[in-house]
Amino acid sequence: MSDNLGPYQDDFYNALMDAHAGLSEEASHALNARLVLMLSNRIGDIETLKDILEKAREYNDE
Phi-psi region of 48 (alpha: psi -120 to 50; beta: other; left: phi over 0): alpha
Each residue's pLDDT expressed in tens, for the chain with a length of 62 residues = 788 999 999 999 999 999 999 999 999 999 999 999 999 999 999 999 999 999 999 987 65
39 closest CA partner among 1, 14, 31: 31
State pTM to two decimals. Answer: 0.80
Residues with Cβ within 8 Å of residue 52, at least 6 apart in sequence: 1, 43
In a domain, 49, yes or no: yes
Which structural domain range is residue 38 located in? 6-61
In a domain, 53, yes or no: yes
In a domain, 14, yes or no: yes
Question: Greatest CA separation found in the chain?
Answer: 35
In a domain, 45, yes or no: yes
In a domain, 56, yes or no: yes
In a domain, 1, yes or no: no
Domain count, the chain: 1
User: What is the number of residues in the chain?
Assistant: 62
